[in-house]
Chains A and B, each alone.
Chain A
């Protein structure tokens, strides 16, 4: 009986030690192999001197991914909207007379703030992607959220 118990204890000790060391080792290898999460960060991109975007005007800005943001100086201050239609990815353009954005593919219409007012995007309740534009000194910067691979 005593021997049995000793044997049992001994076997458990060996099993526990080896199993837990093995498990830890396996998790280390798992961490090593599993791709690290990208780092999320916000970056300010230089746009232009503020004087070049007077009130009531706008200008296009090429984003790092090749897309374009439309930067406008409206009553509410500076705003930037992506020109990518959220419906199926065509490029919207600004129509000054109507003061709205038009997507030529399926006649999607967005108001000056980027909210869809008619056409398929409006049915889906979509809007143009918005970026923050901040003024630092005399210069405008666009704030871009991005995920950086490590």
Chain B
């Protein structure tokens, strides 16, 4: 038998590369250009690398999350026992679970720091308002991940956290009742609720986060990383001197962060492994109950104000955060030198910090 007709293969290039290039016709040059964005010099400082950290941690969560799903049973009657089995019986189950839990804490912390950095450096300003809004939505989804995640364990905190959250939803005027029922999947928190939370946690939210993240990164690339007007005398005029290439220099920074995170997560998992508290008991609210630290501020705020006001005010604050670039623009239109955003941001940080610390110090 002889070879039948086919594309000519040049002896210079390796045959598989040509084969692939003809089947997947991507303009490699354009891809290289697109991915290898010039990175401003200030990214040599670690403070500016917080944006990539949540993305890396999201990767960790995706992998460990899939692994946990192998043994987790999303049923109110078996969820807690399956987590218990995962933690105590399955080899390295405790490790995978601890990594997942610690990465969630770090992810939320990193997102918060990233938001603060972007806010205080004014990087959300035109033309990047849209990316700020994507970022706020990403923060919301991340917090949602945290909430649904610890609900799935179906321990006391899970059950009562969901119960309180569903009742809070009820407190939203007009639509609250419908939303609350929607979240519970019935009249009361139970098996239907757990299934819903599970689907949110492993289906809806990952999809949402992936899409938002893709949009977020795409916009960064299209706009280029924000360059700042540092008050330094040796301001370089041309782009080549103000930036450095993504590959390999910045990529290596991200590798350091990645391996560093892997190391830190492993240490945390060994030293403070994820534990399992008492099983959810619908008949008894534990005397001492607190949400995770990132919800402390809402918890304290609820204790200070009336239910409806608390819900509405938190919702309103979220809305303000979402549209902040436009508010900021108005303020600056009046006074170009306005530093209002810094003051507003500082007040917001102080208020949230005070509420959080207040709740943390409170004994119950």
Chain A residues near B (Cβ < 8 Å): 18, 21, 28-29, 31-33, 36, 150
Is B67 in contact with A33, judged by CB distance below 8 angstroms? Answer: yes
Shortest 8 CB-CB contacts between residues of A and residues of B: A32-B92, A31-B91, A28-B92, A31-B92, A32-B96, A32-B91, A150-B89, A33-B70
Chain B residues near A (Cβ < 8 Å): 67, 70, 89-93, 95-96, 259, 262
8 interchain pairs, CB-CB under 8 A? A28-B92, A29-B67, A31-B91, A32-B93, A32-B95, A33-B67, A36-B91, A150-B89
Pick the residue among A18, A28, A32, A36 that contacts B259 (CB under 8 A): A18
Most A CB atoms within 10 A — which of B67, B70, B92?
A: B92
Q: Within the assembled complex, what's the spacing in Å between the Cα atoms of A27 and B116?
A: 39
Cβ–Cβ < 8 Å partners of A36 in chain B: 89-91
Chain B's nearest CB lies how many Å from the CB of A26? 11
Chain B residue with minimal CB distance to A14? Answer: B255
- Report the tally of A-B residue pairs with Cβ distances under 8 A: 24
> 9 extra interchain contacts, Cβ-Cβ under 8 A, other than A31-B92, A32-B70, A36-B89?
A18-B259, A21-B262, A28-B92, A29-B67, A29-B92, A29-B96, A32-B95, A32-B96, A33-B67
Q: Within the assembled complex, what's the spacing in Å between the Cα atoms of A90 and B142?
A: 61
Cβ–Cβ < 8 Å partners of B67 in chain A: 29, 32-33
Cβ–Cβ < 8 Å partners of A18 in chain B: 259
Chain A's nearest CB lies how many Å from the CB of B249? 15
Cβ–Cβ < 8 Å partners of B70 in chain A: 32-33
Q: Within the assembled complex, what's the spacing in Å between the Cα atoms of A36 and B90?
A: 8
Is B95 in contact with A28, judged by CB distance below 8 angstroms? Answer: yes
Cβ–Cβ < 8 Å partners of A32 in chain B: 67, 70, 90-93, 95-96
Q: Within the assembled complex, what's the spacing in Å between the Cα atoms of A21 and B265?
A: 14
Chain A's nearest CB lies how many Å from the CB of B85? 9
Chain A residue with minimal CB distance to B70? Answer: A33
Chain B's nearest CB lies how many Å from the CB of A16? 13
Cβ–Cβ < 8 Å partners of A150 in chain B: 89
Cβ–Cβ < 8 Å partners of A31 in chain B: 91-92
Q: Within the assembled complex, what's the spacing in Å between the Cα atoms of A133 and B311?
A: 70
Q: Within the assembled complex, what's the spacing in Å between the Cα atoms of A33 and B91?
A: 8
Q: Within the assembled complex, what's the spacing in Å between the Cα atoms of A32 and B69?
A: 12
Cβ–Cβ < 8 Å partners of B91 in chain A: 31-32, 36
Most B CB atoms within 10 A — which of A18, A33, A150?
A: A33
Cβ–Cβ < 8 Å partners of A21 in chain B: 259, 262
Q: Within the assembled complex, what's the spacing in Å between the Cα atoms of A28 and B269?
A: 14
Chain A's nearest CB lies how many Å from the CB of B277? 23
Cβ–Cβ < 8 Å partners of B262 in chain A: 21
Chain B's nearest CB lies how many Å from the CB of A29? 7
Cβ–Cβ < 8 Å partners of A29 in chain B: 67, 92, 96
Chain B's nearest CB lies how many Å from the CB of A72? 41
Chain B residue with minimal CB distance to A22? Answer: B262
Chain B's nearest CB lies how many Å from the CB of A121? 41
Chain A's nearest CB lies how many Å from the CB of B60? 11
Cβ–Cβ < 8 Å partners of B93 in chain A: 32
Q: Within the assembled complex, what's the spacing in Å between the Cα atoms of A36 and B92?
A: 12
Q: Within the assembled complex, what's the spacing in Å between the Cα atoms of A75 and B221?
A: 89
Chain A's nearest CB lies how many Å from the CB of B61? 15
Chain A's nearest CB lies how many Å from the CB of B100? 12
